[in-house]
Amino acid sequence: MKKLLYSIATLLLLSTGVKADEGMWIPLLLKKYNYEQMKAKGLKLTAEQLYDVNNSSLKDAIVWFNGGCTGEIISSKGLVLTNHHCGYDAIASNSTPGNNILDNGFWAKNNGEEKPIAGMWVSIVQRIEDKTDFVIGQLSGVSEKDRPAKLQEIYKKITDEFKKDGKFEGQMREMFKGNAYYLFVFQKFTDIRLVGTPPQSVGKFGGDADNWMWPRHTGDFSMFRIYANKNNEAAGYAPDNIPYTPKHSLPISMKGVKEGDYAMIYGFPGRTNRYEFSQGIDLAIEKVNPTIVKLRDIRLKAWKEVMDKNEGDRLKLSADYASIANYWKYFIGQTEQMKRLKVYDFKKESEAKFNEFAKGKPQYESVLANVENAYVAYRPIALQRTYLGEGILGVSMNGMASSLFPYATNAKDNKDTAAANKAIKAALANSEDFYSSFFPSADEKILAQILELYYNNIPADQHPAYMAVILKSKGKTTAEKFANYAKMVYAKSFFASKAKFEEFCKAPSYKKLMADPCYAMVDAFYSNYLTKYKPQVDAFTAAIGPEARAYVRGLMEMNPTKTFYPDANSSLRLTYGSVQAYEPKDAVKFDYMTTLDGVMEKYNPKDFEFNAPQKLLDLYTAKDFGNYKREDGKMPVAFITNNDITGGNSGSPVIDGEGRLIGLAFDGNWEAMSGDIVFDEKYKRTINVDIRYVMFLIDKLGGAPHIVGEMNLVK
Ligand code: ARG
């Protein structure tokens, strides 16, 4: 068995004939499987210049940015470039009506003015190792039920080694649904400071209206700096830390891009699901996605009302609003494009082919039937998870109440007083932050509407018994009942006021907590899920796991000459392709580059999403573009490539054939929003800010030529 699996792990990555644009490749394996093709496409570097362990290489300039994005080092003094939307939270939380850097922009005049961002970190990959053999060997004889726990144990065995001197950190990643395992060794830096940002009318130009769409005109970038101790080692924040000297930093290309130019993107794609079964797609289209959208709609509308009324409140809610809105639109687009591109039918066809191949092969023959059986059991309860996570726990105050779950567990019958006290401490530590951006009146409306949606869309026999208590509230219609119930909760719960919450924490009591209407409600919904539905969700996951693993293995056996790449899983990957225009629909052609002309066309001072700073308008009128303009005198803004990226790649460098930075990736396009499930060669594009626009915005708009001076600009 072990032998078979190993040969399959090798098969997985076998050679020839792949489309260059599709694929998020593991850097360690580029030399073996992709390098020749990359060269044929226009790469001029050696394989060692892309990824090397002993000498510096491109990988040393790529950072995993705060867990959700990518950044790149662009100066010998640890300057990091990433997206504006990746720095958004740091920028917004450093803004007040008196010093509003979110709206006005900011550039530090010197190191002393850079703003330390508490909690922010970046990690740089030191090396990657294939641990498939070892992990699969250790898993032999382990049942499916015990597999997750056993895997954690094996991971720990491998990564504990790095804890000894604490210099590096090991993280394991499962690939190909559990057919391969890789170790990533990181160096993690935690003293990260904000260097600069354009105003959000530039960094988020086009707002949610333009989000996920091309043609685009957003200057989506911000800048940070990595600080290290005197020995250039990673260290916690200290005022006398110094700018980090990287092993490699990317030179900035001033050459500009043309259609067909080679382009590769290095970064940390978060999650794709390219081996999803047709049933999962059907469920997403019919149930899960529309539910997420409806639940997020409620939050967005209520927050927007608050944000429109008051600048200070807008600053407090902006970052949360942006992140909820981003995936609200994502799920609208994903659903629309999965339908348009008939992704379900495509999967059905692939599955039919798989079944042909599987006939008479005991290891594959029952895979798809077993998947269908698992879905038959799961489908009726699938929305429980969505309603809990995006609904009940999406209500801010409910989230706060749920932070006392560990207290309740340990305080009940005085089970573990120390643990109970610890839980109170943890909740208290979070309260300053929570109450500074808590808007009970908006929250109250959100709660009422979410409960009503739950009531209408979850079958009655799946409701918690507590629903009856809620429905005892006054009101002629259910809507009125939920509204009155929510009103009562926010009037009576101690979670609704910081002072009352702190008072509770001073003298916590299990009895008092259970009597709190907010806690009682959250507890009722959560327990309902935990006792009745979580076991079914777990059973579904356990049933699907081995089938997905066999399915991927079977696909590889079916296509022995194809090179497979694993799904994104927040590990370092490289995708290569070229600058490329596309035709979104019949008779429409989208060019590959936008310019500042387009910003002016979209400009509308009455619409906050399309407003622009006066200084940018002036620079445009004066055509004061410095050396950053295009040959025809226009100022480039964004361009598209056919690279294969997803969320997490935000901020990733777009690099030319000579290893120079030509742009940074910041989005995907509408016509290929189904891309996390199926890569569509015809439609899928990556949207990038042109690096020349970034330089122009720092130098001319930001008045910070000293920052540009730190970089290595090459023609
Ligand atoms: N769609 C982008 C991404 O996920 C984020 C864009 C943020 N902008 C916005 N208008 N919400 O990478």
Least confident of 3-17, 225-239, 607-621, 631-645: 3-17
Q: Which atom of ligand 1 is nearest to the CA of 206?
A: 10
Question: Same domain, yes or no, for 290 and 393?
Answer: yes
Q: What is the CATH number of the domain that holds 610?
A: 2.40.10.120
Is 144 strand, coil or helix?
coil
Q: How many CB atoms lie within 10 A of CB 294?
A: 17
Q: Which atom of ligand 1 is nearest to the CA of 326?
A: 11
Q: Give the strand pairing for 252-253 and 713-714.
A: parallel
| pLDDT (tens digit per residue) in 620-641 | 999 999 999 999 999 999 999 9
CA angle, 413 then 419 then 420, to 5°: 55
Asked whether residue 141 is assigned to any structural domain, the reply reads: no
| pLDDT (tens digit per residue) in 686-705 | 999 999 999 999 999 999 99
Asked whether residue 437 is assigned to any structural domain, the reply reads: yes
The single residue of 650, 676, 680, 699 carrying the catalytic annotation is 650
Tell how far the Cα of 704 is from the centroid of ligand 1, in angstroms: 26
Whether 16 has a pLDDT exceeding 70, the answer reads: no
Asked whether residue 95 is assigned to any structural domain, the reply reads: yes
Question: Same domain, yes or no, for 376 and 492?
Answer: yes
Residue 122, beta-bridge partner list: 65, 189
Reported for 425-432, long-range contacts at CB under 8 A and 24+ positions apart, including other chains, are 427/400, 427/403, 427/505, 428/502, 428/505, 430/400, 430/403, 431/400, 431/498, 431/501, 431/502, 431/505
Question: Same domain, yes or no, for 107 and 203?
Answer: yes
Question: Same domain, yes or no, for 353 and 332?
Answer: yes
Domain count, the chain: 2
Question: Same domain, yes or no, for 325 and 383?
Answer: yes
Stronger pLDDT, 15 or 162, i.e. the higher one: 162
Tell how far the Cα of 564 is from the centroid of ligand 1, in angstroms: 29
C-alpha to C-alpha distances, 307 to 90, 97, 303, 395, 437, nearest whole angstrom: 18, 13, 6, 17, 11
Whether 7 has a pLDDT exceeding 70, the answer reads: no
Question: Same domain, yes or no, for 660 and 701?
Answer: yes
Whether 685 has a pLDDT exceeding 60, the answer reads: yes
CB 192 within 8 A of CB 227: yes
| pLDDT (tens digit per residue) in 168-179 | 999 999 999 999
Question: Same domain, yes or no, for 69 and 116?
Answer: yes
Residues 6+ apart with CB under 8 A from 152: none
Q: What is the pLDDT of residue 15?
A: 38
- The set of protein residues with a Cβ atom below 6 angstroms from ligand 1 is 85, 204, 207-208, 211-212, 322, 325-326, 647, 650, 666-667
The single residue of 21, 52, 57, 85 carrying the catalytic annotation is 85
Q: Does the annotation mark 220 as catalytic?
A: yes
Distance separating alpha carbons of residues 81 and 222, to the nearest angstrom: 6
Distance separating alpha carbons of residues 94 and 194, to the nearest angstrom: 10
Asked whether residue 135 is assigned to any structural domain, the reply reads: no
Whether 20 has a pLDDT exceeding 80, the answer reads: no
Asked whether residue 169 is assigned to any structural domain, the reply reads: no
Q: Which of 550, 579, 600 is the last residue of a domain?
A: 550
Q: Confidence class of residue 338 from pLDDT cuts 50, 70 and 90? A: very high
The single residue of 89, 130, 191, 220 carrying the catalytic annotation is 220
Q: What is the pLDDT of residue 145?
A: 85
Residue 668, beta-bridge partner list: 686
Domain span holding position 292: 278-550
Tell me what the pLDDT averaged over the chain comes to: 96
Distance separating alpha carbons of residues 651 and 63, to the nearest angstrom: 10
Asked whether residue 170 is assigned to any structural domain, the reply reads: no
299-312: average pLDDT: 97
Q: What is the pLDDT of residue 407?
A: 98
Whether 23 has a pLDDT exceeding 80, the answer reads: yes
Question: Same domain, yes or no, for 541 and 591?
Answer: no
Whether 543 has a pLDDT exceeding 60, the answer reads: yes
Distance separating alpha carbons of residues 572 and 632, to the nearest angstrom: 37
Q: Confidence class of residue 166 from pLDDT cuts 50, 70 and 90? A: confident
Whether 3 has a pLDDT exceeding 80, the answer reads: no
| pLDDT (tens digit per residue) in 556-597 | 999 999 999 999 999 999 999 999 999 999 999 999 999 999
Asked whether residue 222 is assigned to any structural domain, the reply reads: yes
Asked whether residue 166 is assigned to any structural domain, the reply reads: no
Q: What percent of the chain has pLDDT over 90?
A: 96
| DSSP assigned state of 398 | H
Q: What percent of the chain has pLDDT over 70?
A: 97
Whether 9 has a pLDDT exceeding 90, the answer reads: no
Write down the pTM of the prediction: 0.95
Q: Which of 550, 581, 610 is the last residue of a domain?
A: 550
Distance separating alpha carbons of residues 204 and 219, to the nearest angstrom: 7
Question: Same domain, yes or no, for 524 and 650?
Answer: no
Q: Which of 550, 576, 607 is the last residue of a domain?
A: 550
Question: Same domain, yes or no, for 439 and 533?
Answer: yes
Question: Same domain, yes or no, for 262 and 284?
Answer: no
Q: Does the annotation mark 323 as catalytic?
A: no
Whether 550 has a pLDDT exceeding 90, the answer reads: yes
Question: Same domain, yes or no, for 239 and 368?
Answer: no
Q: Identity (one letter) of the amino acid at 13?
A: L
Q: What is the pLDDT of residue 2?
A: 38
